[in-house]
Amino acid sequence: MKNADKIISIILMIFFSLIYYLALSFPPRAARYPKGLAVVGIVMAVLLLLNSYIKEKRKSPRPTDIKRKITNEQTFYIIATAIGSILYIILMPVLGYVISTIMFMYSLMWVLNPRKKMVYIIVTAISVMLLYGVFGMLLRVWLPKGLLF
Amino acid sequence: MFENIMMGIELALTWQNLLISFAGVVMGITFGALPGFTAAMGVAVLIPLTYGMNPVMGLILLASVYCGAIYGGSITAILLHTPGTPAAAATAIDGYEMTKQGKASEALTEAICASFWGGIISALALLLIGPPLARAALKFGPPEYFMLGVFGLTIIVTLTAKSLIKGMISGILGLIFGTVGMDPLLAFPRYTFGQPSLMTGISLVPALIGLFSVSQVLMMVAQKEQGILQVDTSNIKGRKPRFSDLYKYPITYIRSAIIGTFIGMLPGAGASIAAFLGYNEAKRFSKTPEKFGTGLREAVGAAEAANNGVTGGSLITLLTLGIPGNSVTAILLGGLMIQGLRPGNELFTVNAKITYPFLIGLFIANIFMLLVGLFGSRHFAHVIKTPINILATIIIVLGVMGSYAINNNMFDVYVMMFFGLLGYIMRTNGFDTAPVVLGIILGPIAEKGLTQSIVLARGESIVKLFLSRPISLVLIILTIVSLATPFIQEYYFSKKKLQNNAN
């Protein structure tokens, strides 16, 4: 956990420095506020880094860290969901709303638990019909059409 | 004001509004009962449904979901010791003990009756305090708005974060996201990277859906075993609700509801804090405090009246000052803005035809909640059986649709996904996402207040300007108090610990 804090504080320092750097090209009056925020952010990130070192020293031999262990299986589920969702929204303008949603729903449910295939088909069909009906037809939202429909 | 209330009743009581309120309550209770699903997530996912509705209907739907979800958490807390929402954690203490003693249906009845009173009393407070407070808000100038923004942020940082540094970092990240778009003085585009969609700032609703719903889904799929929890409803039957259940502990209800309303008004303090405070105060005033924790019916009522008291209270500050008291009202603010409504006095004067029916709708929502809860609460316990993979998938699809449909724009969907991943990384590393949301909302308010104050000070010291105005002075003092609270608390607790050790 504390190790993660170190990495995060370094990423934050880079991020806040970037915010400061980008603000240099703004007119002075528009730059003042984000510059100030970036400076406070950098200070906080440094404090977080120092804090993680202090805590490490204070309770150094700590084999029973409270951080719950994430199993490989769980990591797979999280990554699958994240990548699946990203692919879904990237492919939506290409494939169209209906096709991409059907593909996404069925495959994600199946990847997370490949058992009740029939249930997934029914859930997918009902969801897509409801969503398309309510938003596409009732509320007249112009959904991405894609190659087919 | 009386005419406005009468008009509100007239406009709110249409069959469409009643139907939508009923549906909202049922959806809200379902969301609340699902462990891992919070009220904020429910409202965020359902917001797109309101796009096509008239403002009154849309707002009544959201308020009904809000009330239902805060109550719904108590069902699984009582039956399974698994609070459906964090707000029901205090309910679980005595509620589950009652279930173990075979008094589950009594506990469920108590929870719904207390929730009803909490909701009604806080809605009444909103109706009475809202309009005068909104008029008082007219006296707010740039310095006051700046200080309000600063106060709101400090309080959320000190109240929600486990670590003060991490809370501050979350808040600053939110403030930085709030600077995206044209600056308030020169309209210079900041951090837009040539994206026209970013000119007016980061879209609030997609960011909220990402931070609350998508990040929650990612956390949920890791623990999908939850879906197999067995619900034993066999011992819930056998007790019909009686009319006397409604007024079992009137003093406790009123005390807890007032605590809830007040906590709700504070930015950052949510329903879970209110519930624990209500519980503790009931224990303090009780003649038999030792019975708390052993399955005491009054304890369930004390916690539930307090957490539902938050609903009306949090709307007070949202509708009058535009400051969301918690994450649900932050999303409701998004719902208001989609309807073209701006919080403040205007809401109670120019837009009275929308606002008052909405306020009356809050009463209707609580009445429906009581009816649905009394006669159907045990059925909601079954929703916990829904497999997580199906829920997770549906939530993401709804979130994508909600983000897209605001502006018919794919860019907003990418914004949602960005904040979803960011929220997940933050939450798994001990950062709270609520300060980010508040930062995005309060940042522009605070910056505008500050830059206008500098103009107002006309070259003189800006500190003098802030100290010379009574309201801003009060806000400065409140900010200092809220910043000092964690340190005082720590000092107090360590002293108490020493005393306990000495004893």
* pLDDT > 80? residue B364: yes
Reduced to 3 states (helix: H, G, I; strand: E, B; else coil), residue B181 is strand
Show the 3-state SS of A118-144: HHHHHHHHHHHHHHHHHHHHHCCCCCC
Residue B39 in contact with residue B66, Cβ under 8 Å? Answer: yes
Determine the average pLDDT of the residues in B219-238: 60
Average the pLDDT over each of B276-280, B321-325, B413-417 and give the range with the smallest value: B321-325
Mean pLDDT for A47-70 is 67
Round to whole Å and give the CA distance between B39 and B212.
10
Which pLDDT does position B133 carry in this prediction? 86
Average pLDDT score over residue span B298-319: 89
Instruction: From chain B, pick out residues whose CB is under 8 angstroms from the CB of A51.
Output: 163, 165
Lowest-pLDDT range, A37-46, A138-147, B84-93? A138-147
Are the beta carbons of B190 and A30 separated by less than 8 Å? yes
Which of A45, A86, A113 faces B169 most closely, judged by CB atoms? A45
Considering only residues A95 and A135, tell me which one the structure prediction assigns the higher pLDDT. A95
In angstroms, the CA B29 to CA B39 distance is 9
Nearest to A78 among B218, B388, B405 (CB): B218
CB < 8 Å to A140, chain B: 52
Query: From the list A1, A80, A85, which residue is nearest B396 (CB)?
Result: A85
| Chain A residues with CB-CB distance to B421 below 8 A | 82
Give the number of A-B residue pairs with CB atoms closer than 8 Å: 145
The predicted-structure confidence for B6-37, as pLDDT tens digits, reads as follows 888 888 888 888 999 999 999 888 888 877 67
pLDDT at A65: 45
List the 163-182 stretch of B: residues with Cβ below 8 A of A. 163, 165-166, 168-169, 172-173, 175-176, 179
Nearest Cβ partner for B172 among A40, A109, A127: A40
DSSP 3-state of B189: strand
> Which residues of A fall within a CB distance of 8 Å from B217?
81
Of A105, A112, A143, which is closest to B221 when you measure between CB atoms? A112
Measure the N-to-C terminal CA separation of chain A; round to a whole number of Å. 48
Q: Which tokens is A61 given?
A: 């031999």
B221 vs A47: CB contact, 8 Å cut-off? no
- Residue B17, both tokens: 């509004």
> Alpha-carbon distance B322 to B74, whole Å?
29
Residue A105 has its nearest CB partner, among B222, B397, B414, at B397
For an interface test with B, which of A51, A89, A107 has the most B Cβ atoms less than 10 Å from its Cβ? A89
CA-nearest of B39, B47, B63 to B318 is B63
Q: How far apart are CA B310 and CA B316, in angstroms?
A: 10
CB of B429 less than 8 A from some CB of A: yes
3-state secondary structure of B182: strand
**pLDDT classification of B160: cutoffs 50, 70, 90:** low
Please tell me which residue, B160 or B92, carries the higher pLDDT value.
B92
Would the CB atoms of A40 and B222 count as touching at under 8 Å? no
**Residues 32..71 of B with a Cβ closer than 8 Å to A: which?**
48-49, 51-52
pLDDT in tens, A62-91: 444 444 566 778 888 889 999 999 999 999
Lowest mean pLDDT among B198-212, B231-245, B336-350, B484-498: B231-245
Instruction: Give the pLDDT band of residue A46 (cuts 50, 70, 90).
Output: very high
B395 to each of A81, A85, B201, B214, how far by Cα in Å? 12, 11, 25, 8
* Predicted local confidence at residue B503, as pLDDT: 60
Task: Assign B141 a pLDDT band (cuts: 50, 70, 90).
Answer: confident
Q: Do B185 and A30 touch (CB under 8 A)?
A: yes
Q: How far apart are CA B195 and CA B184, in angstroms?
A: 18
Considering B1-5, B157-161, B237-241, B396-400, the range whose residues carry the highest mean pLDDT is: B396-400
Using CA atoms, how far apart are residues A31 and B226, in angstroms rounded to an integer?
Answer: 48
- Nearest-by-CA chain A residue for B446: A33
Query: Mean pLDDT, to the nearest integer, of B90-104?
Result: 82
What residue of B is the nearest CA neighbor of A31? B190
Beta bridge partners of B189: B182
A45: pLDDT confidence band, cut at 50, 70 and 90? Answer: very high
User: Is the Cβ pair A77, B410 closer than 8 Å?
Assistant: no
